[in-house]
Structure 1
């Protein structure tokens, strides 16, 4: 993924809310870590939401949530 696509993906991630389930309407970056880990073990859904959840997992595991939160502040 080139830099511009990565940037656009992170902006979209910062704006996206969970579309279903217990945490519906919560920003993906604000999902509890245990929930994202559960998805990791269960398998992320197919499509854009799954890609974003997988990215949220990596961000949370590596302590990088602040990157998305900083983007949210700028929006």
Structure 2
């Protein structure tokens, strides 16, 4: 994992699908789980979604709180 990926989770939006426009850090766990079962997209987006799935699945969402405050919209 690249350290900058954590910042991207709170600044980058989902580019397609049901949750298009929502921050990656705000995607629901069941949606992330669906990707985990069906396969993450290739490239950086897939890596970010996989990372967010791990964070969500392991209850580590609090790690993103300081970054959310730093990058408030």
Q: TM-score, normalised by structure 1?
A: 0.86
Unaligned runs of 5+ in 2: none
Q: Which residue of 2 aligns with 1:54?
A: 50
Runs of 4+ in 1 over 4 A off after TM superposition: none
Please say if 1:15 is aligned against 2:30: no
Measure how far apart 1:10 and its partner are: 1.1
- Structure with greater proportional helix content: 1
RMSD: 1.2
Please say if 1:30 is aligned against 2:26: yes
Q: TM-score, normalised by structure 2?
A: 0.88
Contact 1:14 1:69 in 2 (8 A): no
Q: How many residues align?
A: 71
